[in-house]
Chain A
Amino acid sequence: MKRIAVLITIVFVLSLLVVPMVMAQAKPTPAKEPAKAPAQAKPVAKPAAPKEPIKLGAIYCFAGPCYMYSESAINGIRIAADEINAKGGIMGRKLDVIVRDTEMKVDVGAREVKDLILREKVNFLEGPCSSGVGLAMQVVHSEYKVIRVTTMANTEGQVVDKFTPYIVQIVPNTYMEAKAATRYLHKKVPTAKKFATINPDYEFGRREFAAFKEEITKLVPDAEILYEAWPKPGEKDFTAFITAIMAKKPDAVHSSLFGGDLVAFTKQAAPYEFFKTPFIALYDLPVLLALGPDAPEGTFGFGRGCFFMDPNPKMLEFVDKYKKVRGAYPDSWAVQAYDGVYLLKAAVEKAKTSETEAVIKAMEGISIDSLRGRFTIRPLDHMGSVPCYQGTIAKDPAYPFKIWKDISRVPGDQVWRSEESVREVWKKTGVVR
């Protein structure tokens, strides 16, 4: 008995030794370095400028489903900052990046923002990942009059319901994104009248659903939503949702599932032949990478702009650079964060100062050539006319994973909320402008 116990212990200890060795060979992607939380950006070539640096507080959510997106965003920001500093900074001032973590918690986000402003004396903020954290943060940095560029958290609440002059949004917001996706779905299946929806049950999912409902009723006046599924974020088992949706026999299904949830959903839905029904969801690069051969060809996806969605020369140059530094393809989260830094640079240079009110004035109506093409910041609500992308999942011999075909690029100003509509919401929520 005792000898057996000793033997088993040895087996366990050996397994602990052997497995890390196997795993070391199996690192999924090279050069994946965990985010160094409060670390400074490395200056590449220090210009001989004694001027005070411009400080950018990059505050993202290094927890749960947000972790990977946040890491991508920081990579994008660092690449942009290194480029800018190598060329002499912004108006001769070095750009310093200070990274902070909200832990995806509303209270931590508010606290860290306050700390960045009061102790680190940052000039600008960029982030976060979670829409809920973004809304909480907005109260704090607006009070201290510091501008935040949101490149990932995309609830419309930030620029519409709870607008303050200290927010700029350059990620398609929930309204634009769902509207554009709904149009694509309608274009692909114009005869569909009966719909089902499945959205994560929180701020983001509820807003995407509301925009889908509004748009589909416009496009198909007799449209009917047969069933709304509301899985919690992080759901592991969608089987019961899948069978419930299929029992209703919808013509098409709209969804804003993303990330790991969409991966789980797709694998669980495939054996039910669910994807014979037209379906659209946030099938962006990380999801297609994770799914590999399991990605359903012919199913529709929407996304916020990565290389296969918008293969323009500027984007491809960024892809090469990113691959050299990080050893992987950049996703749209890195692209948007990179664009955010260049937007701030353009606004500061136009204002000829980093002083907040002047930069806000410069920001309103500014146009920049970004990785996603040219976009303009609307003066009224500081929403960027950033494009929304949709496509159909397909194989491409040039890549070891599936990408999109039939790509549609909808400029932001075709789908954003009209100024009158924004003002109407403001009347209700008490925003005066």
Chain B
Amino acid sequence: MSFDILFNQFMSGIARASLLFLVASGLSLTFGVLRVLNFAHGSLYMLGAFVTYSIWKGLLIPVVGFYIATFLAALVMGGIGIIIEFFLLRRLYARGWPEQLLVTYALVLIITDLVKLGWGGEFLSIPRPVPFKGAVSLFGFPFPSYNFFVILLGLALVIFLWWLVYRTRIGDIIRAAAHDREMVAALGIPIPWLFTWIFVLGAMIAGLSGGVAGPYGAIALGMDIEIIVECFAVVVIGGMGSLPGTLLGSFIVGQVYAFGIMFKPELALAFIFMVMAAVLIIRPWGIFGRPER
């Protein structure tokens, strides 16, 4: 097994990790602040992908059409995020986890049926956009340039979220609210609106990653559940609500899967959940998480 083959497999793992990070970061962000486990996050991602497709198809602008469509889809998902937060989630913060899970799961079913109504459930595809159509050469091996785009976008999102959470006044409030929301409310900060905006940000990230997933693979029913299961593995390993944790979790899941496929393909998926089980036993709150109070 030569170095270049291993390196190539490593890069496959990185590409997978980037897409996972894009989706999981939104899930982790909403959980970290709102303390709501949003089961429907994957559904927002799926809806984002379908909306991106339709806008892209409707715009018919070559080259930049896809980027505009993805951006608009993220805005649309933000709008849907406002509705969901204002009419549903807001009423659930004080309730227990079982109710939150039930309601967000109901959303999964509703969004699935909305997609069936709107798009008829066929699988769709967006061709890879210019200039990320082909491949670049890495140690003599081709590496799809669109994967680089996804990796760069993942990095940009890390930097943006880090800047937002640790370097701005809003970030201070977010971190304070995650720590003790009553105290922050007592200081005169409108917690309900803060929560709405956090949820909207999460929904926009879901929409953005859905848009990016269009050229990456296929847009199809069932992509919501497929991704949310892996995202849960990511946030459980990395630690719920932790940005560095999500980054590390995505990296671990991506690499374990890539090398699992290479050496023991029939067990590749099982390896991920073995790692997850191990983390749950040794450090139930995840590598970078903090124990529930």
Q: Which residues of A contact B (CB under 8 A)?
A: 5, 9, 11-13, 15-16, 19, 22-23, 25-26, 28, 32-34, 62-65, 67-68, 71, 201, 227-230, 232, 234-244, 247, 259-261, 263-264, 267-268, 271-273, 286, 290-294
Residue from A201, A260, A268, A292 in contact with B216 in the complex, judged by beta carbons closer than 8 Å: A268
CA distance A17 to B58 in the complex (A): 15
B143 cross-chain contacts in A, Cβ below 8 A: 271
Q: Tell me, yes or no, whether B265 is within 8 Å of chain A by CB.
A: yes
B190-219 Cβ-contact flags toward A at 8 Å (1 or 0): 000100010010000000000001011111
Q: List 14 A-B contacts (CB under 8 A).
A: A5-B197, A22-B54, A23-B55, A28-B57, A34-B116, A34-B121, A234-B222, A236-B227, A240-B262, A241-B261, A241-B265, A244-B265, A260-B218, A268-B216
**In the assembly, what is the distance between CA of A34 and CA of B193, in Å?**
37
Which residue of chain B has the shortest Cβ distance to A232 in the bound complex?
B269
Distance, CA A290 to CA B127, complexed state (A): 10
| Residue interface mask B57-75, A partner, CB < 8 A = 1 | 1110000000000001101
Chain B neighbourhood of A33, CB < 8 A: 120
- CB–CB A63/B79 < 8 A: no
Q: Are A236 and B144 in contact (CB under 8 A)?
A: no
> Is the CB of B276 closer than 8 A to any CB of chain A?
no
Smallest beta-carbon distance B216→chain A, Å: 7
Q: State which of B11-19, B241-249, B283-291 sits at the interface with chain A.
A: B11-19
Residues of B within 8 A of A62 (CB): 116, 121
8 Å CB contact of A264 from B117, B119, B217? B217
Q: Which residue on A lies nearest to B214, using beta carbons?
A: A267
> Does B121 lie within 8 Å of A237, measured CB to CB?
no
Report the bound CA distance from A294 to B126 in whole Å. 9
Residues of A near B127 (CB, < 8 A) are 267, 292-294
CB contacts (< 8 Å) of B147 on chain A: these are 239
Q: How far is the CA of A227 from the CA of B80 in the complex (A)?
A: 45
Residues of chain B within 8 A (CB-CB) of A242 are: 12
**Chain A to chain B: the 4 pairs with minimum beta-carbon distance, closest first:** A264-B217, A26-B58, A67-B121, A260-B220
B197 nearest CB across to chain A (Å)? 8
Nearest chain-A residue to B81 (Cβ)?
A12
Asked whether B221 lies within 8 Å of A240 as measured between CB atoms, the reply is no
Q: Are A71 and B121 touching (Cβ within 8 A)?
A: yes
Asked whether, in the complex, the Cβ of B8 is within 8 Å of the Cβ of A22, the reply is no
B257 and A240 contacting across the interface, CB-CB below 8 Å: yes
CA of A290 to CA of B200 in the docked complex: distance in angstroms? Answer: 31
Q: Contact between A26 and B123 (Cβ–Cβ < 8 Å)?
A: no
Q: Does B153 contact A (CB under 8 A)?
A: no
Minimum Cβ distance to chain B for residue A231 (Å) = 8
When chains A and B are docked, how far (Å) is the Cα of A64 from the Cα of B225?
A: 10
B142 touches A273 (CB 8 A): yes
Q: Which residues of chain A are near B79, meaning CB under 8 Å?
A: 12-13, 15-16
Q: Which of A63, A71, A243 contacts B9 (CB 8 A)?
A: A243
Indicate if the CB atoms of B261 and A240 lie closer than 8 Å.
yes
- Contact call A22/B216, Cβ cutoff below 8 A: no
Smallest distance from the beta carbon of A338 to chain B beta carbons, Å? 19
Q: Do B218 and A22 touch (CB < 8 A)? A: no
Could you tell me if B120 and A34 are in contact, using CB atoms closer than 8 angstroms?
yes
Instruction: Given A15-B76, A232-B269, check contact A272 B144 (CB 8 Å).
Output: yes
Given contacts A22-B58, A244-B9, 16 further A-B contacts (CB under 8 A): A12-B82, A16-B80, A22-B59, A26-B57, A26-B58, A62-B116, A64-B221, A64-B222, A68-B121, A71-B121, A227-B265, A236-B227, A243-B8, A244-B262, A260-B222, A267-B217
For chain B, residues 96 to 137, give those with C-beta under 8 angstroms from any C-beta of chain A. Answer: 116-125, 127-128, 133-135
Are A267 and B216 in touch, CB under 8 angstroms? Answer: yes
Taken together as a complex, chains A and B put the C-alpha atoms of A5 and B265 apart, in Å, by 50
Q: Nearest CB to that of A24 among chain B residues? A: B58
Name the one of B122, B225, B266 contacting A68, with C-beta atoms under 8 angstroms.
B122
Please state if A292 and B265 are interface contacts (CB–CB under 8 Å). no
B223 at the interface (CB under 8 A from A): yes
B72 touches A15 (CB 8 A): yes
Partner pick for A12 among B123, B128, B134, B200, CB 8 A cutoff: B200
Which residues does chain B contribute within 8 Å of A34, judged by CB atoms? 116-117, 120-121
Contact B134 A240 (CB under 8 A): no
Residue contact A271 to B144, C-beta cutoff 8 Å: yes
Contacts A12-B200, A19-B55, A25-B58 known; A290 to B265 CB distance under 8 Å? no
Q: Is the CB of B146 within 8 A of A271?
A: yes
**Contact at B55–A244, with CB atoms within 8 Å?**
no
Which of A229, A241, A272, A292 makes the CB contact (< 8 A) with B125?
A292
Question: Nearest Cβ in chain B — how far from A289, in angstroms?
Answer: 8
Contact of B265 with A234 in the complex, beta carbons under 8 Å: no
B185 close to chain A: CB less than 8 A? no
B42 to chain A, nearest CB (A): 11
Instruction: Give complex CA distance A64, B223 in Å.
Output: 8
- Contacts A271-B134, A272-B135; A263 near B226 (Cβ below 8 A): no
Chain B positions 217-260 with a Cβ under 8 Å from a chain A Cβ: 217-223, 225-227, 257-258
Q: Is B26 an interface residue (CB 8 A)?
A: no
Question: Is A236 touching B57 in the complex (CB atoms < 8 A)?
Answer: no
Is B220 a contact partner of A65 (Cβ separation < 8 A)? Answer: yes
CB of B32 within 8 A of chain A?
no
Give the residues in chain B near A63, CB-CB below 8 Å. Answer: 221-222
- Asked whether, in the complex, the Cβ of B76 is within 8 Å of the Cβ of A16, the reply is yes
Cα separation A62 to B120 with both chains bound (whole Å): 10
Q: How far apart sit A286 and B76, CA to CA, in the bound complex (Å)?
A: 28
Nearest CB on B from A303, distance (A): 16
Alpha-carbon distance A28/B125, docked complex (angstroms): 11
The answer to whether B200 and A247 touch across the interface, beta carbons within 8 angstroms, is: no
B222 contacts which chain A residues (CB < 8 A)? 63-65, 234, 260
Which A residue's beta carbon lies closest to that of B262?
Answer: A244
> Smallest CB–CB gap between B90 and chain A, Å?
15
Q: Is the CB of A68 within 8 A of B217?
A: no
How far is B116's CA from A62's CA once the two chains are assembled, in angstroms? 9
Q: A23, B125: Cβ atoms under 8 Å?
A: no
A247 contacts across to B, CB distance below 8 A: 5, 8-9, 262
Contact residues in B for A263 (Cβ distance below 8 Å): 123, 125, 217-218, 220
Chain B min CB distance to A257 (Å): 11
User: Given the complex, which residues of A lie within 8 Å of B262, measured CB to CB?
Assistant: 240, 243-244, 247
Q: Which residues of chain A have C-beta atoms less than 8 A from B125's C-beta?
A: 263, 267, 290-292, 294
Distance A17 CA – B200 CA, assembled complex (angstroms): 17
Give A240 to B12 CA distance when docked, in angstroms.
5
Q: With A15-B75, A247-B5 in contact, do A237 and B19 touch (Cβ < 8 Å)? A: yes
A261 and B257 CA atoms in complex are apart in Å by 18
